[in-house]
């Protein structure tokens, strides 16, 4: 089969929402993936709004942080502070005028402050299943690495509840340390 025939067999490429600048290059890459087979494939992806949806039926879907921010186990005062942080820093995150370098210190500041607030909530790890369930987040041994600046413990629980947390899936993210008094974030910030 030619590269063009393989592309034509994939209905995803026929959708009106798909735009391809260089069809020849896309065909070459996809055919290379197919010819290389599963043994030579490794997937690296983000989670929030990549694996998870951005919106569903016109409503914005929560990120990993939003799942915890909005759960019943977080105090109203904490939720209010987290909302204020989001209002301030999300505008910076999506500002098309600022460069990544200009945004970076603000994003670190946002995550550091948010993680500090969440760490004060003493959330037990056993409650993560409940937190993810109450939020509305929805085999070829190919390695799948999910890199996320979100909360790794929440990502893992979402993936478990979706029934797709297989041995080939590895989450690299911000993980919480749980003890008898609650939770704190590990020092490395992603």
The yes-or-no answer on residue 46 being catalytic is yes
**Topology given in CATH for the domain delimited by 43-185:** DNA polymerase; domain 1 (1.10.150)
pLDDT in tens, 126-166: 777 777 666 543 344 556 677 787 788 888 888 888 777 77
Q: What is the pLDDT of residue 172?
A: 80
The yes-or-no answer on residue 177 being catalytic is no
Highest mean pLDDT among 19-28, 40-49, 136-145: 19-28
Residue that has been written with the tokens 């016109």 in this structure: 58
Burial class for 122, CB neighbours closer than 10 Å (0-12, 13-18, 19+): middle
Q: What is the pLDDT of residue 137?
A: 37
Residue in 46, 69, 76, 136 annotated catalytic: 46
Rounded-to-integer distance, Cα 39 and Cα 143, Å: 10
Q: What is the pLDDT of residue 141?
A: 57
Q: What share of the chain is helix, strand, coil (3-state, %, to 5)?
A: 50, 15, 35
Residue in 48, 76, 153, 177 annotated catalytic: 48
Question: Domain limits of the chain?
Answer: 3-36, 43-185
Rounded-to-integer distance, Cα 41 and Cα 30, Å: 12
């Amino acid at each position: 089969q030619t590269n063009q025939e393989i592309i034509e067999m994939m209905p995803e490429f026929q959708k009106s929402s798909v735009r391809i600048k260089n069809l020849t290059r896309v065909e070459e890459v996809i055919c290379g993936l197919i010819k290389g087979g599963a043994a030579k494939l490794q997937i690296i992806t983000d989670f929030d709004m990549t694996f998870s949806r951005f919106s569903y039926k016109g409503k914005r879907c929560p990120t990993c942080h939003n799942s915890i921010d909005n759960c019943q186990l977080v105090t109203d005062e904490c939720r209010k502070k987290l909302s204020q942080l989001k209002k301030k820093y999300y505008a910076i995150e999506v500002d098309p005028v600022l460069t990544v370098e200009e945004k970076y210190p603000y994003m670190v500041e946002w995550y550091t402050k948010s993680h500090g607030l969440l760490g004060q909530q003493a959330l037990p790890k056993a409650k993560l299943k409940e937190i993810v369930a109450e939020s509305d987040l929805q085999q070829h041994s190919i390695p799948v690495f999910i890199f996320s600046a979100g909360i790794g413990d929440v990502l893992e629980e979402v993936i478990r509840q979706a029934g797709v947390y297989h041995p080939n899936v590895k989450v690299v993210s911000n993980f919480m340390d749980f003890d008898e008094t609650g939770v704190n974030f590990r020092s490395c910030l992603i």
